[in-house]
Amino acid sequence: TQLLEQSPQFLSIQEGENLTVYCNSSSVFSSLQWYRQEPGEGPVLLVTVVTGGEVKKLKRLTFQFGDARKDSSLHITAAQTGDTGLYLCAGAASGGSNYKLTFGKGTLLTVNP
C-alpha cells in the first residue's frame, strides 16, 4: 500500500509570512499532484510534477518534486488570506495504467489578516 504523509497537518500563519508544506512517501510515484480544497467543495488541481528534481512555479507558489520521485514540497511566499484552505498532495503509482491517485491527509492552512 502506498502512503503519502503530509506535514504539518495544521498551519496557522499571519498574512505576509512564508511557509513550506511537505509530502513524503517511501514509494516512487510516476507523478505527483497538489490540490487545494475549500470547505464543502471538491479539490482543485494546482500542479502536476513528473520529473525527479522538477521545480514548478505558480505565482507565489513553488512546487518541487524530489530527485527520487518519493517526496514533494510546496512553498508559498508572502501568504495571503485567500491562500487559506486544505492542501492535498496525491501520487500516481509507477507503472500503473489506471492513474489511480493516492492522497495524503492534507495540510489545513489558515492565513490570518
Partner 1 sequence: DTGVSQDPRHKITKRGQNVTFRCDPISEHNRLYWYRQTLGQGPEFLTYFQNEAQLEKSRLLSDRFSAERPKGSFSTLEIQRTEQGDSAMYLCAIRQGGNYGYTFGSGTRLTVV
Residues that bind partner 1 (CB under 8 A): 4, 31, 33, 35, 40-45, 48, 50, 88, 90, 98-106
Q: Which is nearer to partner 1, 33 or 72 (CB)?
A: 33
Q: List, in order, residues 6 or more apart from 50 with CB less than 8 Å away.
A: 30, 31, 65
Q: How far is the CB of 10 from partner 1 (least distance, A)?
A: 10
Q: How far is the CB of 37 from partner 1 (least distance, A)?
A: 9
Within 4-113, where are the H helices? none
The answer to whether the beta carbons of residues 18 and 104 sit under 8 Å apart is no
The answer to whether the beta carbons of residues 50 and 30 sit under 8 Å apart is yes
Distance of CA 91 to the CA centre of its chain: 10
Q: Which is nearer to partner 1, 16 or 96 (CB)?
A: 96
Q: How far is the CB of 107 from partner 1 (least distance, A)?
A: 10
Q: Which residue has the cell 491562500?
A: 83
Q: How far is the CB of 70 from partner 1 (least distance, A)?
A: 17
Q: Which is nearer to partner 1, 70 or 91 (CB)?
A: 91
